[in-house]
Structures are given as structure tokens and as C-alpha cells.
Structure 1
Amino acid sequence: MDETEIDFRHLFGIVRRQIKLIVATIALVLAIAVVAVFSITPMYSGTTLILVDPSRKNLLDPSNISGSSSTDSARVESEVEIVDSDAVLLSVISEKGLITDPEFGVKLGLRAKILAALRIRELTLPTGQDALGVVLSRFKSNITVSRRGLTYLIAVTVRSENAARAAELANAIAETYIRSQIDSKISTTRESRDIIQRQLIDAEKAVVLAEKAFDDYIFGNVNSFVTATGRSDLADLRNRINELTSERSSTESRVADLRQKLQGNDYQTLAAELENEAVAALSKQRADLQRALGEAAAGSARAVNLRQELEKIERNLAVEAETALSELQASVGDYDKQASTLRRDLNTAILGSNLPADTLAQIYRLQQMARNAATQYQALLARSQTLETESALQIADSRVVSPAFPPTGPSSPKVMLILAVAGLFAVGAGFALAFIFENFIGGFTSEEQVQAITRLPLATVVPRHSATTAQHSVSDALIDSPLSMYAESIRRLRATIDNTLQANMPPPVDGRPRLGFVIMMSSALPGEGKSTMSLSLARTLALSGASTLIIDCDFRKPSIQRHLNLEPSSGLVDFLVGDIASDDLLQSIVKTDEKTSLTAIVGARRSDVPTDQLITQERFTRLVQTARSRFDYVVLDSPPIEPVVDGLYLAKYADVITFVIRWAKTPQRLCVHSLQRLAQTKAEHCRIMTLLNQQEGKIGYYSAYSDYYSE
């Protein structure tokens, strides 16, 4: 319980002492955060949700085929990368004209403007691929594409300075992705179709070659079949097939010749060769109209009517001729059907005949080759037609399930979150700086810290104590409150100094009386309570019955006379500069404390000569020697070490140096520096100890044994 209470008091003490630093740090960090938050351009986020269906989709095959969960997950992750790919984003950039967009388009950045202002680089906008790359990079930095957990949902989020623009671009990315997915499936299907169509050409040739090989073998060996079987009808079938083939060729040639005459408007020859009554009648009417038109006067009404009638007859003639040619062309198909029927009859008759085994085997082999070629051709043709149909019936595997809508508020900056985080950081930074300043930069806050850093013994810790009135000194507590913690800490200092002197001072030789001890009170900086500690120590020595003299050696800012409520005296300075003879020393400059038996040599004003010269003269040495011979203790209240060098010259007279450190105020670096300088100038037998002054709170043994003290 006691340790917990001590820790909290210690922390509260740090906060109280460094409250200004903490408040200033919090205010500065919050001010920076507020300025930063309100200087950031608000950004709006539009999010589109896309659902990916990993099953295969085919409108010609209603059954859907799904993969395993692992392959589905990999498929969704792949689609995420496709949505975020440069190809999709470049399509959106081109479609939405983002090259010239004021937010995402090509523009000069701050870095380019600075370089141009410093004449390091010319102020030019990028063009071509460089401009496209800049826009793509800027656009991509404002896009987030992610999968929602382990679902099949992909979230496409676009950030923009304009709410409607953010939603528009998010939807555009989703639409472009789905459209590219369909285009990709169509392209893949058409590539497959093209490959199969190239194979169809070879398959068709194979069918023709297989059929031809079979027919050539049959027709080429009919005579041998007749001889082997004795069936003369086989030869008759072959001859009939040849006749049909010849008639077909003749008819086809005739159709081609007549169609050429039709295209050349040679209706008279066409009518003669077609032998069609309708065509012949129309041809005769045409000839009569042409003759009548030749007899009519040019430009007359009769000529115009005749010409119109002639054009009508020619149109009818062309229609009738085309009809007759179509009928003639249909007869070609009849020849093919008859020839095909006869071929089947011939093949059946041959296969049903009693032929040698090797001949039948050869026939079956050629027949099977023809069937296989036809089957393969039919399969390729069917697949080609299916792919052609599929290319027109492709649907996307993904769809938009939730389009983006313009957001009602900005997504960044998150003002409250940033300010909350900044507030927490500010409080943490304030306390951290307070702790650093308290323990590493500002001063000492514990006994262990003093001993660890100075590597010197700590004589005592003096608690903070305030004078009751402005006319009283803090050292009056030794008389007014002899059982207080303050008075006890000074007595602890006296005991520590006595033990140190007895342990380190050599005994007198030749039976001479022991001279008095010189105790020097020093500090690094002014205002650390050094004079108060000097007077308090001198008074407690006097109260213990020892004859004690205190000398105010701070010739620049003397203060002992104020603490003792004595009249100021310039006698010490006058003596040191030679204005007072040594015989008149005690009568002129020595004063007596009204509350104790303490003797004091006080000051009165700032010296007009360099103060170090006063201390280094022989008169000051004689003063100290005289004081040693007449007093048990001589306390030297020295000036601070860092501002002036006087204390370094005083150190050689001291038997013990008590270095005053003010709680949480004396900088550690200056403290160590001052102690190092004292260690270089002190006498060899002199010991240096530290004193931690004005400790706040009841800490350590004062708290543990508070019942022993009274104020």
C-alpha cells in the first residue's frame, strides 16, 4: 500500500511540476492536428459490389458445372486482380476522358513547380505515354479492389473529391470489367470456331478424296466384278451412272451459258435455247416494242409510253428467264439424286455378290475410310455451328449486385478519429516529455537518481518548507519547529558531515589542539537554496553546542544578512581590499545571530572589484586560518559554480563540500559538470557529498515515520 501511494504521489508531483510543458505540448499537437485536418481536401468513396459466379455458364447447356472450393477461391482472387488491372483502368480512363479531368488528369505537381521555380527543370506537361502513365498512376492510387472475406463478392471503391464522380467511376470500372469479361469469352469462342473451320477445309477434302477413292475403285473394277460374278447388270448400272453424270455436266454447262446470256441481255438467243413458251412470247413482244419504238418520233408521248412498256417487258422477261434457269438448275440436282441412288444400288449389288475375300476387304476398307471422313467432317461442322451460336449467346460470369451511389459524407479525413488519436498522442507526448525532462534533462527526482548520476554519497534529502512570513527565513524552522521533517533533515546533514570529518581528517600531531573544520556549501546554479542550507547547517551546529562561524562568500549577491535579519555590512569586502587592518577584523565584520550562538560574517553590497581576486588574496587565507583557530566549524556560503569561478577557489579551503541540488530543477548535465570542476580544485583530503533540496511530498522515510515529526 505504501509503495503504491508513493508511486502515485511521485507521478502527481511530476505532473504538477511539468504542467506547463504538458499543457503546451497538448495544445501544440492538437493545433497541428486541427490545421492538418482542415487543410486536407475531403475525399468521397463510392463502392460497387460485384458477385463472381465460378460455375460455367452456357445458354445451350442449362446444366452449370462448379469447381471445388479451393479452385473457386483462386478464381475469385484472380478476378480481383483482373478488375484492378491496367487494361480495365485504361479503358475507363479512355471512356471517361480522365486525361483532361481536373482531378485525375495531367497537371503539374508541387515538386515540378518547385523544380521549375529553382530553374532545375522546365515547366512542361507530360504528353503521350508519359501522360497516360501519370493519369493511370494517379487513378490507381485512388482505387481499392478487395474481396469481402471468403465470399464471392468483390468491392470496387473509388475515392474522389466529388461524391457523384466517385460513384460514377466505381460503376464504370465494374461495367468495363464485366464487358471485358464477355468480350474475352466471345473472343475465345471465335478463336476456337476459326480453328475448327480451318480443320473443316481439310476434313472436307478428306471426305471428297475418300469418296473418290471408293468410287474410282468400284468403277475401275466393274469389269472384273462382272467376270467374277457373272452379273451383267453391274455393267448396266455403271453405264447408267456415267450417262447421268454426263447429262448433269451438260445441263450444268448449259445453265452457265444461258445465265451468261441473261446477264448480257441476249433475250432472243436465250428464248431460242430455253424453249420456254412464256420466255418466247415475251421475247417476241420485246422485239415488236423495239421496232415500234424505232418508228416513233424521239421525245414524243408515244415514244415515252413505248419505252416504259419495253422496260416492263424486259423485267418480266428477266423474271421468267430466271425461273426457267432455276428449273433447269433443279434438274441438275435430280441427276445427282439419280446417280447417288444408282451408286448405292451398284455398291449393294457388288457387296452382295460372291466376290473374293481380298476384294471384299478392300471394298470394306475404302467404304469405312469414307464413312470415318464423313463422320469427322459432320462432327467438326456441328461443333463449328455450335461455337458460332455460342459466340452470340455469351453471358458474363460476374454481375453487379449493388451499384455505387453518391455518398452523403466524406470518407476522409475522419475528423473525429484523427482528433481523438491526436488527443491521445498529445497527452502521451506531453507526459513523455515531462518524464524525459524530469528524469534526464530537467533535474533529479529521487535519491537513487542522484547517487547513480553523480556517483557521490547523498548526505540528506531536505523536504520543501516555506517560511511563515516574509520576514522569516526557512532556517528559522530549526528554532520554531525543532521536531519538523525539515529540522530533522538538517540534523541528518550535520550527522553525515560529522561522520565524514571524523573518518577522513587526520588527528592533530605533537599534541596541538585540533583546528576547526571548514564546510563549504556549493551549487551549480543560483536559486537552489544554497544560502538557506548554509545557514540552516550553521544554526544546527551552533544549537548542538559547537562554536560555529558562517561566512557569506557570495560577494556578488550576498543574502545571509537578510536571512538573519541583520544590518548589512561591507566590512568583509573592505577588509579583503585592505581598508580594515587585521587587528580590527573581529570587531568590524563579525555579527551574532539573535536566535542562536551562531557567529556570522555577512555582506552588504556588490563588489566593485573582480570577486575571485578577493578570494585568492592572502587576507582571505588569513581570515580562514583565524576562523579555524577560534571556531569548531566554519561554514562557507559560496557562489554557484557555473556563473562564476569563486567557488572553485574556495574549494581548496574546505574539508567537506556539500553540493546542493534542487529537486526536479537542477539540470543533470550542469550538475555533473560543476562536480567535476570542484573535484579538480578541492584539497586532496576534502570529501564531496550531495544534498537534494526542496523535495516535494512526504517521501521515503519521512512518509514511513511521519508520526515522529510535527510542524
Structure 2
Amino acid sequence: MQRQLRLILVLSIVVLTAAVVVVLSLTPIYTATTLVMVDPADKNVLAPQSSTGSVAAADARIEGEVLLARSDNVLLTVIEREGLVGNPEFNHQPGLVARFLSFLRLREPVDLDPDQVTQQALAKLARMTSVQRHRATYLLSISVASEDPDQAASLANAVAAAYIDTQLTAKVQSTMDARTKLLEQLDTARQDVVGSDGSFDRYVSQNLATIIDQTGNAELSRIKAELDRLGERRADEASELTALQKALGEQDFAALSSRLADPELTSLEAQRQVLLSAITEPSDEEARTAQLSSLDRELQSRATALIDGRRALVQEIQSDEASQSRNLRLAILSSALSSDTLTEIYDLQQRAELARQQYDQLQARSQQLQAEATLQLPDSRVVSPALRPADPSFPNTGIFLILAALSGLALGIGVAFIYENFIGGITTDEQLAALSRTSLALSIPRAKTQPSRGSVSDLILETPLSAFSEAIRRVRTNVDHQLTKKNFEGQNRAPVIAVTSTVPGEGKTTAALALAQSFALSGRKTLLVDCDLRRPGLHEHLGLAPAQGLIDALAADDPGAALKSAMVTDEDTKLLVLLGSHRSAGATDQLVTSRNFDKLIAGAARAFDVVILDTPPLGPVVDGLYIARKADAVIFLVQWASTSQQDVRRSLLALDGAIDDRNVLVPVLNRQEVAASSWHRRYAHYYSQELG
């Protein structure tokens, strides 16, 4: 994180800036909440002692109320009452793609029909509305979010009111549906009562003679005759009453006076006829019309009074008939009847009594349901109406910016981790050691000054106390220690050290030359061989241009003469260097795998104390892998913060297949920035001011 601090800070600032821009561009949303209390006990004024039932049933009831409060029926009621179809916030707005296509004239705007507009408003209100139950309580919070705080409060209260109205309407409708069903049963019960009473009368009529014979009661015949007479009289009077009512409705006063035979009514009708037949002047027409209207009213009043008298007479006859019917029943029941007749009569009476009881119960329940429908109360009530919210509920600027800052920091750390471990170059010894699966990796700092002879490797001679020179000596010492651990000292030959890298330009040749010079300065007879047959470069570092080089010696039948002409000695360090001269025009892997190359390495190992091979990079060509097999130690150079970690992994995997446990692998991080080296910061006073 310290190495990638700049990247982390930049990404965090970018994300936080984008969050600020987004927050400033967002439309604030205000949320208002109405608190509603639901009573799970049914509200019934006529039965105030109703219970709520079990806890599970009450919970299920509350959950059902939540669904009802946010149902489409409630929301459509709010849309209609509040006129939301014409509200700008609920108007249908085409999407960004539709507006863009319309701007390019690739799509014509679509006009929605009223149903579609209503559906759009319903969908928008449904998204704006939320209904929640407060844990295990009977409280519901109805919340509405809107761009206008006043509208948010108004809609929250409107949704609560529509919900309560819908609940009450459903209760009233349920009660009325039950009453309608009950009225159907009431008609059936009424017919049963009439039928049961008629059955008794028919039985008496059909069996009266038998009953008289059984009882010897002549009074029964008299009562039955009187009952029949009253029935005939009632029928006649009822028929006459119907005719009179019809004549009154038609204002046929002549027929009324004829049927009623009332002197006063007859006199009024005569006056009316005289007035109708009288011839008057047009000027007297108004007075004549007024007189006719007055007579008509008197006739109407007198006829109505007389008809009411006839109606009272019919009712009196019906009362007498009912009295005689009761007398007949009592007389029959008090007579000495046979057991069969008594049983039959008792059954008829019981059926009639049960029919009347059922009819009375249904009638009472019907009246009760009518009263309940009128006196229904809602099961919910508003306990805290919504008020105008003072602050927007969205966006929560503080939380939003804190989350954005944390997200930016997390993104920066994630990108830095990916860059550090997968994409970017290697920047620490620990990274290189982890990649190479070794316990230790070394580093060589980048040279800050240029030596007089032009090659950075000459800093070994010119500034022996510089950080560069000390790093080369540290590499040399580490190689010696690693070879000692491998028990190399017991062999009768010099160690062969190969210096390689992943890609060209990582400072491999410079490091190989500096390492060889360091070995030579330590008093050991050292040979440095330029094995990069594709691109030899040691002669350029030494400022030489040999006519022949290693590639000529390996290709010759007698390589001795070519080797002698390619050998040079560094006068300052007594280092012997086998140079390359020119690039190969063909494949070189066959040269480094040839017998001549094997003889060269074997002879050099016998003749020198140290043999260092400057090999080609592992990425472009395979020569370095063949040469690594012939070396006792392989120094693998990686340029600081440059070479891709994926390439380094591939090269290390290739080396794993080329060498075995007998070989020493020394990973080295080359050209490390001095400012990034914690080692140098702590021990800079041990080095000279010329920081090579």
C-alpha cells in the first residue's frame, strides 16, 4: 500500500469526486409516513364484546391488512381522488433511449390512451408507496416518497384514508351480501308459514264431517259455516275495494259515486257534471277551471275517506275470520277426537309453529344485519397523520459520501493489489522472492552517476563504496554461500554462474560484467563469456570491436584460433572476457548444445576459479534454458517496476524445468530506485556520496 499510495489516493479522490457530482445532480426525495393502528377484533356496535381470537389469527389478519393497504384498488382510489393522472410527477416520460431515437427521428413519440396513462400512474405510485408492519405490533406505517414534501405528506394521508375506506366498504358489502342471502331464505320461510297454515285449514275442510261424527259437536258446523261466510264476504269486499281503488286512480268519479252510493259524493259529482256542461265565455275560463279543481279535490278527499272505510271493513272482516278460525281450531282440539286425528292435527300444528319460529328468527337476523350495515366501523384508524418532511430521505449525503470514500479506498486498494501482483512490475525483494519461491531475493540499485568509461559496471572500480558496488558484492557473496550450502567446494572445478533475465534491456549484461569484475577484484581468476549469440553486447560495454567472437569459435571445426582472437583482458581487474562479435544469422540453440560449447565450459571450469556466462533473455529465445542446465548457479535478473509479473512467472516456470535441486537460483531485482529502498534509507551513511 505504501508503494501504491499514489494510485490508491488518485482512485479514492476520483470516486469521491464522482460521488459528489452524482449527489449534486440527484433530485432530492422526501418521505412522509402515516401511522395506522389496526384492531384485529371485529368492530360491531351491536356486539361490543367480540374477541380477537388467537395470536396466530391476529398476526395473519395484520399481514393481510398490509397487503390491503398497498393493493391496486387502494392506490387507484388515491389516483382518482387526488387527480394524479394530471400530476406532473406522475406523467409518463419516455426513457433515455426513446428520447434519443425520437431526437434522431428514428421513432415517433407514442401517445398513450387513458388506461395506459392510469396504469403508468399506478405503477409510479406503487413504487413510491411502502407499507410495513412495526415488528410484532398492530401498527402499520404507510410511507410515500415524492419530490415534493407537501405532496409526500398529502399522498401518505390519502393512501391511509383510502385504505380505511376500502376496509369499511368491504365490511359493509360483506354484511349486505349476507343480508341478501338471508332475504332469499326469508321468502322461502314465509312460503313455508303460509303453506303450513293452509295445510291445517285444508285438513279441517276435508275432514270436518269426520271430525263432527267423531265428536258429535254440532258447534263445529256452525263455526265452519260462519267462517265460510266471512271468507266469501271478505273476498267480495276485497274485490270491491280493488275496483274502487282503480276508479280513484283513474279519477272516474261517476263510477265512484255509483259504487259508493254516498249522497255527498253524488252531489259533488252532479255539480261537477253541471260545471263541465256549462258554456262560458273565454274570459270566465279561468274561474271555471278553478272551480273544477276545487270540486276534484273535494271529490278526491271524500272518495279517499270512503275507500279507507271500506279498507277498514275488509280488515275487520279479516280479523273476524281469523278469530273464527282460532275458535274452530280450539273447538276441534277441545273435542273428543280419535288418536289418529289428534296425531295428524298435532303434526300440522308443530310444522306450522316451527315454520313461524324459523321465519321469526330469519326476520330478526335480517333486521340485525340491516342495522349492522348501517353501524359498521372500520377496524383501523390513523393514530399519527403524515406531516411535511423537513429533510430529504434520499440522497443521504453524509452516508453516501462515506460509502463512496470507503468504496474508492477499497477500489484503490484492489487495483493496487492487482497491479502490484499481476499487472505491474516487481518493486520489492519480497515480491521477487515469493514469485521465485526462494527464501531471499537481492536487489541492485539504479546508478545515479555515469562512470568515465561509459559502462555502469565500471562503478565497481571508480566508486567501490557506492550502493551499486555494495549490491554487486552482496550478490557475489550470496552466490558463494549458496554454492557452499550445495557442497560445491569439494569439486575440482570452478563454479559456472549464468546471468539471465526475462526480456532484453533489464541490465543483464551490465550486471554480469560488474559481477565478473567483482570476482576478479577479489583475487579470483575469472572468465566472463558473452553467450548471447543473438545479440552480443559485452564488446560494446568494453568499447571493443573484435573481428571474431564466440559464435565463430563454436561454428568452426578448430575453435582454438577463434577463441584466442575473441579473448580480451581487462587491465584494471585482470578479468578475462570471451567476447561476441556479431549477431547470428540463424538458429543458435544448436550452437549452445554443441560439443564445442560443452568443451568450452568444461575447459574454462578447469582453467579458471569462476566462470560467468552472460546468457540471452529467456523470453525471446530458448538458448538461455540450455545454458542454465550447464551452470551451477543462475542469477535471474528482473528490472524494478518494469517487467510484467506474468512474464516473470513464465520465465521462472521455464527455469524450473531446466534446472534441478543441485543448481542455485539467485533472483535479483535490478535498477531499483534508491528512494524506494528502505535499506538505503536506513544505512545511506555507510555509502559514498556518489550513489552508483
C-alpha distance after superposition, 1:94-121 (max 9, x if no partner): 5555556554454433455678899998
What is the rounded CA distance, in whole Å, between the counterparts of 1:560 and 1:57 in structure 2?
Answer: 107
1:570 match: 543
Output the amino acid matched with 1:661: V
Query: Could you say which residue in structure 2 is the equivalent of 1:71?
Result: 57
Alignment of 1:22-171 (within 5 A): 22-96=8-82, 98=84, 102-110=88-96, 124=110, 127=113, 136-171=122-157
Rounded Cα–Cα distance in structure 1 between residues aligned with 2:214 and 2:660: 147
Establish whether residue 208 from structure 1 lines up as the match of residue 191 from structure 2: no
**CA 1:612 to 1:117, structure 2 compared with 1: closer, same or farther past 3 Å?**
farther
What letter corresponds to residue 296 of structure 1 in structure 2? T
Equivalent position of 1:5 in the other structure: none
Give the conservation status (yes or no) of the 8 Å contact 1:531–1:560: no
Instruction: Structure 1: state its 5+ residue gaps.
Output: 1-14, 508-513, 562-567
Secondary structure in 2 aligned to 1:87?
helix
SS of structure 2 residue aligned to 1:411: coil
Q: 1:140: Cα distance to partner? A: 3.0
Q: Hey, what does 2:669 align to over in structure 1?
A: 693
In the superposition, relative to structure 1, how do residues 573 and 174 fare at CA in structure 2: closer, same or farther (>3 Å)?
A: farther
Deviation at 1:448, TM superposition (A): 8.2
Q: 1:651 to 1:246 in 2, by over 3 A?
A: closer
| Root-mean-square deviation over aligned CA pairs | 4.9
Cα distance change on mapping 1:435 and 1:269 into 2, 3 Å: closer
Q: Structure 1 residue 415: deviation in Å? A: 3.0
Mapped pair 1:520 → 2:511 = no
In the alignment, which residue of structure 1 is the partner of 2:337? 355
More deviation in 183-192 or 117-126? 117-126
TM-superposed deviation, 1:675: 5.1
1:6 maps to none
CA offset at residue 548 of structure 1? 3.0
Q: Is the 8 A contact 1:444 1:664 kept in 2?
A: yes
> What does residue 11 of structure 1 align with?
none
Query: Are residues 1:400 and 2:382 paired?
Result: yes
Residue 543 of structure 2 aligns to which amino acid in structure 1?
A: S
- Matched with 2:410 is 428
Query: Equivalent residue of 2:43, what SS?
Result: strand
CA contact (8 A) 1:529 1:693 kept: no
Decide whether aligned partners of structure 1 residues 587 and 194 sit closer, same or farther in structure 2, where only a CA change above 3 A counts: closer
SS in 1 for 2:158: helix
- The 2-side partners of 1:628 and 1:261 are apart by 150
Q: Describe the SS at the equivalent of 1:309.
A: helix
Alignment of 1:650-661 (within 5 A): 656-661=633-638
Instruction: Name the CA distance, whole Å, in 1 between partners of 2:659 and 2:413.
Output: 43
The alpha-carbon distance between structure 1 residues 180 and 18, as it changes in their structure 2 partners (threshold 3 A), is same
The secondary structure found in structure 1 opposite 2:441 is strand
Residues 142 and 151 (structure 1), Cα distance of their counterparts in 2 relative to 1, 3 Å cut: same
* Cα pair 1:627 1:634 within 8 Å, conserved: yes
Would you say the 8 A contact 2:495–2:611 is kept in 1? yes
- Taking a change above 3 Å as real, the CA distance of residues 475 and 118 of structure 1, as seen in their structure-2 partners, is farther
Q: Which residue of 1 aligns with 2:298?
A: 316
Which deviates the most, 232-241 or 467-476? 467-476
Rate the CA distance shift 1:546–1:211 in 2: closer, same or farther, 3 A.
same
Which deviations, in whole Å up to 9, do the C-alpha atoms of 1:644-697 show, x marking residues without a partner?
9997898799664321235665433222444567789x9999956232337877
Provide the TM-score with structure 2 as the length reference. 0.79
Q: 1:435 to 1:490 in 2, by over 3 A?
A: farther
Query: Which residue type is aligned with residue 140 of structure 1?
Result: A
Alignment partner of 1:238 out of 224, 227, 232: 224
1:531, distance to aligned residue in structure 2 (A): 5.7
CA offset digits 1:328-352 (Å, max 9, x no partner): 2111111112222222223223222
Extract unaligned runs of 5+ from structure 2: 552-559, 688-692
SS at match of 2:329: helix
Secondary structure of 2:336 counterpart: coil
For 1:258 and 1:252, how far apart are their aligned partners in 2? Answer: 10
User: Which amino acid in structure 2 is aligned with residue 691 of structure 1?
Assistant: P
Does the 8 Å CA contact 1:590/1:599 hold for their aligned counterparts? yes
Map 1:188-587 → 2, pairs under 5 A: 188-290=174-276, 294-297=278-281, 299-301=282-284, 303-443=285-425, 453-454=435-436, 461-462=441-442, 475=460, 487-488=473-474, 490-497=476-483, 502=488, 507=492, 518-525=496-503, 530=508, 533-534=511-512, 537-548=515-526, 570-573=543-546
Q: String of CA shifts for 1:47-82, please: whole Å, max 9, x gaps.
A: 333322111122222323221111000111122222
Alignment partner of 1:185 is 2:171: yes
Q: Does the residue aligned with 1:689 lie in a helix, a strand or coil? A: strand
Aligned length: 661
Shift of residue 454, structure 1, vs aligned partner: 4.3
CA contact (8 A) 1:612 1:645 kept: no
Which of 615, 622, 644 is residue 667 of structure 1 equivalent to? 644
- 1:592 counterpart residue number: 571
From the superposition, tell whether residues 119 and 32 of structure 1 become closer, same or farther in structure 2 (CA, over 3 Å): same
Q: Is the 8 Å Cα contact of residues 530 and 615 (structure 2) preserved in structure 1?
A: yes
Q: Taking structure 1 as reference, are residues 486 and 400 closer, same or farther at Cα in structure 2, changes over 3 Å only?
A: farther
Task: String of CA shifts for 1:600-645, please: whole Å, max 9, x gaps.
Answer: 7699xxx996588999899x98999998787533445567555799
Separation in structure 1 between the aligned mates of residue 652 and residue 47 of structure 2, nearest angstrom: 96
Q: Go from structure 1 to structure 2 and tell me whether the alpha carbon gap of 1:588 and 1:687 turns closer, same or farther (over 3 Å shift).
A: closer
Separation in structure 1 between the aligned mates of residue 661 and residue 51 of structure 2, nearest angstrom: 100
Matched letter for residue 256 of structure 1: T
CA contact (8 A) 1:572 1:602 kept: no
In 1, Cα distance between the equivalents of 2:661 and 2:640? Answer: 29
Q: 1:343 to 1:648 in 2, by over 3 A?
A: closer
How far off is 1:185 after superposition? 1.9
CA distance in 2, matches of 1:228, 1:684: 136
1:397-438 Cα shifts (integer Å, max 9, x gaps): 222333333433332233332322222222223223323333
Q: TM-score, normalised by structure 1?
A: 0.77
CA distance in 1, matches of 2:574, 2:288: 160
CA distance 1:529–1:334, change in 2 (3 Å) = same
The CA distance in 1 between the partners of 2:636 and 2:660, in whole Å, is 17
Q: Matched residue of 1:410: which SS? A: coil
Tell me the residue number matched to 1:16: 2
* Aligned residues of 1:478 and 1:536 also touching (Cα < 8 A): no
2:50 is paired with a residue whose SS is strand
